[in-house]
Amino acid sequence: MPSINERNGTALSGLFAPDPKTRQLDIPTLETWLWDAACAIRGAQDAPKFKDFILPLVFYKRLSDVFDDEFEAKVEEFGDDEFARQIIHDDHENALKEGRAPIVRFYIPEGYAWKAIRNHAADGTLGEFITDAMREVARLNPDLQGVLDVKDYNERQSGQRTLDDDRLGTLVEIVARHRLGLRNAEADILGRAYEYLLRKFAEGQGQSAGEFYTPKEVGDLMAQLLDVAPYSTVYDPTCGSGGLLIKARATFEAAHPEKKSQAPQLYGQELNPVTFAIAKMNMFLHDYTGSRFAIGDTFTKPGFSAEGAGLKSFDYVVANPMWNQDNYTESFYSNDKWGRFERGSASASSADWGWAQHILASLKESGRAAIVLDTGAVSRGSGSKSSNKEKTIRQKFVEEDLIEGVVLLPENLFYNTTAPGIILLLNRHKPEARKNEILLVNASQFFRKEKPKNVLTDDGIASIAEVWRAWETREKLSKVITLEQAREADYNLSPSGFVDVNEKLTHRPIHDILRDLESAQTARENADAKLGDVLAKLHLTSAASEEVAA
């Protein structure tokens, strides 16, 4: 029985051959590669599910290629293939028993290396073999359990394979197109892949597929606004693929390259099992050891608790929870055993201020947070005489001086909505210079039009971060308001109500206008007189000509 490689070899050998070991995989190439992979199984799966088959394979190939790199280094060190392989195997077993780090990051047996998958016989058992390979590698590397072994490539629906071996074989060959070793791809290769595929699916599926995708520029801005400190902890209760957490740490490492050992520890919780696994994969690919993740509904079952009782608290929180969730009842809020919602029950039609309260309860006494929410979260209920749960909670946050700022983002950035969104910034312990003040930033004009969505510009990110650090009012950008001004606005904290970014109309003094009108009238009268003289002369000339002709 021919292998997948042999079966496809004649037609695909040049096109799908792995790149040389030193060739770098750039982003345009990555995106073309991934889209080809998605197209290879198009029709077998709904678009949002493509990533569930593609990304674990990409991750597995990354693990296998990195293992091959480390194995070659050991062969060079020990001088013999078999001896090096035995050393790695024995060291791995001993490391697990002794609770220490092994000499290679992850151990992959020769029988389950990527070349074994690619050369597997095309006999209808490929899906089963890939599933077995991933589960065995996860068993041998406990850190990968619940990460690598979550997808069944042999799954069936109504008795039929979800992804038959023909399409799966083609997918394997496309994934084999590029090498993903230590010298070939950036550490964030899987995060880039996840973002690209999710973005492409969102484009093709309207907006529903963008539920867990936060544009990377928004993540960059949030990371700059928080500017996390050394040895700190960062938490995302709705972490998705972990992008916001990675941005926070990567921004710290870029600003303090000499302090990477002091980089913050990352914590996240995610409801979707596949997305949870991708978040953990993302951390492995960044070498962000020590990161911790929990799976489940953060609202109903928070994944991190302190020793003894209560929620675990963190130095920073970054989050982009689903906007305006409507699946939590009054009784849920009032009966919360964690005591998170003491400032009031969120509206049944929007859990935005429920999330704000969970995040506040998860902050240390000096903690800070950046939360992406629907624009209406900072304005709904203000100006109305009737009671409004969101405004009541927002009022308490303002009066307790917990809100440090609000940034209004440009419209049409997010895939699950065309609404602009805001970043709500919380601070449990404001510095003295910022007490009883709130900085409102109107960044609605800082965008570049692209298809299908707008993009927050680098200049915009820099301007917002700079005015945040300066903490000052600037025309068409920001306004520092006092607690009293927030009260006067009935706790409406929408930056557009305080910062006008439109060109202002200028009006001339009325006496200048009247003087100009009088001059214009005189000029018109003079022109009319001259015109009358011309017409009169023309009339006389015409009459004389008629007499001569007669």
478 forms bridges with which residues in the sheet?
441, 474
Q: What is the reported pLDDT for 16?
A: 40
Q: Is the pLDDT of residue 99 over 60?
A: yes
In this prediction, residue 1 carries a pLDDT of 53
pLDDT at 451: 79
What is the C-alpha to C-alpha distance for residues 93 and 178, in angstroms, rounded to an integer?
31
Secondary structure element (H or E) that encloses residue 446, with its range: none
Q: Which whole-number Å values give the CA distances from 280 to 147, 211, 328, 345, in the listed order? A: 6, 19, 28, 33
Give phi and psi for 3, each to the nearest 5. Answer: -80, 170
- Mean pLDDT of the region 196-218: 63
Parallel, antiparallel or unpaired: strands 292-295 and 265-270: parallel
- The mean pLDDT value of the chain amounts to 86
Rounded (5°) CA angle 429-434-439:
110
pLDDT at 379: 95
Q: In this predicted model, what pLDDT tens digit does every residue of 411-470 receive, in sequence order?
A: 999 876 788 999 999 999 999 999 999 999 999 999 999 877 899 999 999 999 999 999
**Res 336 pLDDT > 90:** yes
Whether 171 contacts 34, CB under 8 Å: no
What is residue 191's predicted lDDT score, i.e. its pLDDT?
Answer: 65
In this prediction, residue 53 carries a pLDDT of 85
339: which DSSP letter?
Answer: -
pLDDT band at 105 (very low <50, low <70, confident <90, very high): confident
Residue 266's pLDDT band, with cuts at 50, 70 and 90, is very high
- Which pLDDT score, from 0 to 100, does residue 206 have? 44
Q: Is the pLDDT of residue 407 over 70?
A: yes
Q: Which of 142-146, 405-409, 462-466, 502-506 has the lowest mean pLDDT?
A: 502-506
More confident residue, 20 or 500: 500
pLDDT tens for each residue of 496-539: 999 998 865 455 666 666 667 667 777 777 777 777 777 777 76
Out of 218-232, 306-320, 387-401, pick the least confident. 306-320
Alpha-carbon dihedral angle through residues 150, 152, 158, 161, given to the nearest 10 degrees: 150
102 versus 181: the higher-pLDDT residue is: 102
312 pLDDT above the threshold of 70: yes
User: What pLDDT does residue 514 have?
Assistant: 61
What integer pLDDT is reported at residue 5 of this predicted model?
A: 56
Say how many C-beta atoms besides its own lie within 10 A of residue 294's C-beta.
17
Query: Of 352, 369, 351, which is closest to residue 360 (Cα–Cα)?
Result: 369
Evaluate if residue 45 carries a pLDDT over 60. Answer: no
Residue 2 has pLDDT above 60, yes or no: no
Instruction: Give 3-state DSSP helix, strand, coil % of the chain, rounded to 5.
Output: 50, 15, 40
Which tokens is 4 given?
């997948």
Percent of the chain at pLDDT above 70?
84
Q: Does an H or E element contain 532, and which?
A: helix 510-549
Q: For residues 262-276, give the mean pLDDT.
A: 91
Query: Which alpha helices (DSSP H) does 312-425 contain, by range?
Result: 330-334, 352-361, 389-399
Q: How far is CA 402 from CA 132, 244, 307, 390, 429, in A?
A: 51, 22, 26, 15, 8
Give residue for tokens 């359990």: 145
Cβ proximity of 423 and 371 under 8 Å: yes
Q: What does each C-alpha distance from 237 to 290, 356, 363, 389, 396 come to in angstroms? A: 17, 11, 12, 23, 22
Strands 437-442 and 403-408 turn out to be: parallel
pLDDT band at 207 (very low <50, low <70, confident <90, very high): very low
For 290, the enclosing helix (H) or strand (E) is none
pLDDT tens string 347-371: 999 999 999 999 999 999 999 999 9
Of the candidates 331, 336, 334, 346, the residue with the CA atom closest to the CA atom of residue 297: 336
The residue-averaged pLDDT of 40-68 equals 79
- Confidence tier at 201 by pLDDT (50, 70, 90): low
Mean pLDDT confidence for 65-74: 93
Give the H/E segment covering residue 433. Answer: none
Residue 502's CB: how many other CB atoms inside 10 A? 7
In the beta sheet, which residues pair with residue 405? 425, 439
Across 289-301, average pLDDT: 92
SS3 string, 49-102, reads HHHHHHHHHHHHHHHHHHHHHHHHHHHHHHCCHHHHHHHHHHHHHHHHHHCCCC
Torsion of CA 326, 330, 331, 337, to 10 degrees: 90
Phi-psi region for residue 387, left (φ > 0), alpha (ψ -120 to 50) or beta?
beta
Sequence length of the chain is 550
Helix axes 243-255, 189-204, angle to 10 degrees: 140
Element (H, E) at 460: helix 458-470
